[in-house]
Structure 1
Amino acid sequence: MPHVKELENHLTSKLSILYDPLEARSIAQLVLMHILNFSKTQLSMNGLRELSIKQITSIEMVQEELLTGRPIQYVLGETEFYSCTIKVNEHVLIPRPETEELVHWILADQKRNPKHDIQILDICTGSGCIPIALKKNLPNAHVSGLDISHHALETAAQNAVLNKTEIHFYHQDILKAANDPDPKYDIIVSNPPYVRHLEKEKMHKNVLDYEPHLALFVDDDNPLVFYRAIAEFASKTLKNDGILYFEINEAYGDETRKAMEEAGFTHVEVKKDLYDKDRMAKGVLKR
């Protein structure tokens, strides 16, 4: 029987047709860790361990799916986000590392200026990864999430149960949302659709073929449609000193800042991600 390291090398070689060698190796390791229920440390320490026929068969089945270009997260049905296990499927985007940076920014701000019993709303919640990570780390917060997709909301609700978090999810098209006359949120956060159709040629085939376009793309001639709508909504529903956080398109940092300022937000800050790209923004509402 082949051992763990042999299977890792074999799978890496196969996946190198679609991915660069480092990414192919990383995906191969994720597959083995999932099927063998190993941590990364356990995987490295058990390289000479022989695999059972059942385990080999499972790896071969996963390999077959991966070679179609389907993302590893969809093949395995889950991913990790800010130390939370998040179920994913074709109805929700795969959480990205830059979104973890957005969550980290919010939590760092809360650590510096702690508030109790705060109300948080996540708009375009998708898998629910943002509100779940926030609730896990801010257990006294009252957290909600909304989305236009019923299927996404079903997945988000399942993820909330999986991670033992109490979150209220509801269906809403934010582009048609009515303003609440009574401001009630301390924080509103959103990672809305922001990829222009003209950017498709720069994207990996496995994103275009498998991830939901509803959650990805906006019209080329109106790339900030969601940011303007959400900023306007937030200007009516945030309390005094409430904060709006966005994940943003790196090409529209200045434009996003301007849209937030036009909606009444002050102290607007655009923050770069680990790759030195404009990726996040926040603004404070002063009433």
Structure 2
Amino acid sequence: MPLLRRLTSLLGPSQAARELQWIKKHALQARLSVEDLVDRRMRDEPLQYILGTQPFGPLDIRVRAPVLIPRPETEHWTIKLSEAVSPTPAKPFRLLDIGTGTGCIPLLLCHLWPKGSVSACGVDVSDDALTLSRENAKAHGFERGPVDLELRNTFQAVRANILDPAFTTSVDPPYDVVTSNPPYIPFHEYLDLPRSVSRFEDPKALFGGPMDGLDFYPAIVKVLTQDGFMNRNGIVALEIGHQQGEDVHKILKQTGKFKEISIWNDPWGKQRTVFAKM
């Protein structure tokens, strides 16, 4: 069966034509077999894993299974955050990204904010994610060296688990900004995910708990509100599921530590991010 016809049976005619064009281009550049790449796509492997990258703002982020593929909605709120907060070389920020995955969030902020205005740390429990985020940092020139004399933004990846009582000892607070795209999909929604997601992307980066998917937010907020973890007027941005805005807003508000809490919608009108100031 011709390649386009095979892909059309899976994707429909317009999407199949676009993907085949991208696959052919990648096969030529990487000296791979177009047929082998199409076979992978027909087994429901995400196109991003096949091509090896995913655009995220102006960055091309390297991706590979099983690390979570960056989503457009995450890109949207990351750019919005870059416009809402303004570090400078004179007043630089320390940023912590919890569950960093590919490193896409802190690396895009490193790209968008002025040189020398942010020192970012991404934490994850996955060795695959830590390795990949370090590769992305190096590829985009943000890898933190032993001694940095040049004025630039930097990123380092650290193994740490937000559910571990000793989490704070691994991340060297205080921080000015904390971001996170934690696992937030409840079990009933996880069962309905497309095969391209459930078969290839790490369930630990997706599944947020058996009931409402909110298991990680109380743990994150508990850490953020510890004395000395956040600097004065610290900023928090947490990605959420489309029906979790009010619940996460309540978790933050109940601490009494946040003076400003708002819910940001994504470009499709769904609740996507809770933004708060200490």
TM range (shorter): 0.7 to 0.9
Equivalent residue runs for 1:76-87 within 5 Å: 76-87=51-62
Structure 1 residue aligned with 2:272: 279
Structure 1 residue aligned with 2:183: 193
Q: CA RMSD in A?
A: 2.2
Distance 1:185 1:176 in 2: 19
Distance 2:231 2:14 in 1: 46
Residue 256 of structure 1 and its aligned partner are, at CA, apart by 0.9
Structure 2 residue aligned with 1:174: 162
- For structure 2, the residue ranges without an aligned partner over 5 or more in a row are 144-154
Q: State the SS of the aligned residue for 2:23.
A: helix
C-alpha spacing 1:21/1:261, structure 2 compared with 1 (3 Å): farther
Residues 1:148 and 2:125 are matched in the alignment: yes
Residues 1:254 and 2:229 are matched in the alignment: no
Residue 20 of structure 1 and its aligned partner are, at CA, apart by 3.9
Distance 1:108 1:119 in 2: 17
Q: For residues 195-221 of structure 1, what are the alpha-carbon distances to aligned partners after superposition, in whole Å with 9 as ceiling and x for unaligned?
A: 111003432111111111011102222
Residues 1:266 and 2:259 are matched in the alignment: yes
Residue 231 of structure 1 and its aligned partner are, at CA, apart by 1.5
C-alpha spacing 1:180/1:149, structure 2 compared with 1 (3 Å): closer
- AA partner of residue 16 (structure 2): A
Residue 172 of structure 1 and its aligned partner are, at CA, apart by 0.6
Residue pair 1:271, 1:281 contacting (<8 A) in 2 also: yes
Structure 2 residue aligned with 1:44: none
Q: For residues 163-218 of structure 1, what are the alpha-carbon distances to aligned partners after superposition, in whole Å with 9 as ceiling and x for unaligned?
A: 11131111111011436598521100000000111003432111111111011102
Structure 2 residue aligned with 1:216: 206
Residue pair 1:235, 1:265 contacting (<8 A) in 2 also: no
C-alpha spacing 1:205/1:125, structure 2 compared with 1 (3 Å): same
Residues 1:205 and 2:198 are matched in the alignment: no
Q: State the SS of the aligned residue for 1:221.
A: coil
Residues 1:105 and 2:74 are matched in the alignment: no
Residue pair 1:73, 1:88 contacting (<8 A) in 2 also: yes
Which of 137, 148, 153 aligns to 1:160? It is 137
Equivalent residue runs for 1:102-141 within 5 Å: 102-111=77-86, 116-138=91-113, 139-140=115-116, 141=118
Q: Identity across aligned pairs (percent)?
A: 30
C-alpha spacing 1:12/1:104, structure 2 compared with 1 (3 Å): farther
- For structure 1, the residue ranges without an aligned partner over 5 or more in a row are 1-9, 38-53
Residue pair 2:52, 2:64 contacting (<8 A) in 1 also: yes
Residue pair 2:240, 2:274 contacting (<8 A) in 1 also: yes
Residue 98 of structure 1 and its aligned partner are, at CA, apart by 0.6
- AA partner of residue 276 (structure 2): G
Structure 2 residue aligned with 1:245: 237
Distance 1:201 1:59 in 2: 32
Distance 1:104 1:12 in 2: 36
Between structure 1 and structure 2, the one with the greater Rg is: 1
Q: State the SS of the aligned residue for 1:175.
A: coil
Q: Structure 1 runs of 4+ off > 4 angstroms?
A: 179-183
Residue pair 1:103, 1:134 contacting (<8 A) in 2 also: yes
C-alpha spacing 1:20/1:250, structure 2 compared with 1 (3 Å): farther
Distance 1:63 1:102 in 2: 33
- AA partner of residue 156 (structure 1): S
Count residues in correspondence: 258
Residues 1:25 and 2:17 are matched in the alignment: yes
Distance 2:23 2:49 in 1: 12
